Amino acid sequence: METFLLANRWIHITAGFIGFFVAPAALYVRKGGEAHRLWGRIFFWAMVVAGSTAIVSAVYHGLTFLLLTGIFSLYLAWFGYRSLYHKHLGRGEARPALADWLGVGLGTVVFAGTVVYGLLHLRQNPVPVVFGGIGLMTTLRQLRSFRRIAPWPAGQWLHNHISGFVGSYIAAVSAFSATSLTFIPFPLNFLWPTLLMVPALIWVQRRYKAKFAQGHRPADVVEVRIQPELAPPAGR
């Protein structure tokens, strides 16, 4: 078991290290281009591995907060990835898949539990309330979108894609900071990535929304490719 846990730890560190440096590369290059897709895929799978290994370690050691952080990062990476298959929802040409409903339902339950856990331990650790609250707002907003019969607002899938991947990166940096940057006092060691990156995320989102409100299409802003999973039937 010790050998397994040691291997799990090093796999987690390696995946986290890769994701830590790959995400800025994906943000820097042209959005939707080949390089962006390559770095984005590497980041997604790095977060899947890092989140999964964190969950394994948390379950074995009984670390509830680490478990919730791993799930938080995993869900947001999945949320950002799945949004790429939602382009047709903006045209009213498709409905969310079963995987989308199951994912957002499970996320809602987990994040609601995270908020409750945080409230019960608020004096010792306020961080779960922050992370759980962000996650819960994300899943509830997505549930409303999935129930929407009319086409999604222009570029909604793009907003979700950005929010999911940036949110997952924030969670990864927060975990790294909490475990490695010991000179930063608690709970600032967990929260500084959120305080630093969320305002930038909001600024980017508003910028895109302003362009869409002026009549620009997502294809005018980023390179758009329709994922084959939700491609419309022939003749449409």
pLDDT at 90: 63
Structural domain span for residue 20: 2-225
pLDDT at 226: 60
pLDDT at 187: 86
Per-residue pLDDT of the chain (236 residues; tens, 9 = 90+): 788 889 998 999 899 889 988 988 888 888 778 888 899 999 999 999 998 998 998 888 887 777 878 888 899 999 999 988 887 776 666 678 888 999 999 889 989 988 998 899 888 888 889 888 988 998 998 898 888 777 778 788 888 899 899 989 998 888 888 888 889 998 898 889 999 999 999 998 888 888 888 888 877 777 776 655 544 443 33
SS (H, E, C) the chain: CHHHHHHHHHHHHHHHHHHHHHHHHHHHCCCCCHHHHHHHHHHHHHHHHHHHHHHHHHHHHCCHHHHHHHHHHHHHHHHHHHHHHCHHHHHCCCCCCHHHHHHHHHHHHHHHHHHHHHHHCCCCCCHHHHHHHHHHHHHHHHHHHHHCCCCCCCCHHHHHHHHHHHHHHHHHHHHHHHHHCCCCCCCHHHHHHHHHHHHHHHHHHHHHHHHHHCCCCHHHHCCCCCCHHHCCCCCC
pLDDT at 230: 44
In a domain, 235, yes or no: no
In a domain, 178, yes or no: yes
In a domain, 168, yes or no: yes
pLDDT at 140: 92
pLDDT at 42: 94
Total domains in the fold of the chain: 1
In a domain, 230, yes or no: no
pLDDT at 236: 38
Q: What is the pTM of this model?
A: 0.84
In a domain, 105, yes or no: yes
pLDDT at 232: 41
pLDDT at 231: 43
Residue 181 contacts residue 219 (beta carbons within 8 Å): no
In a domain, 146, yes or no: yes
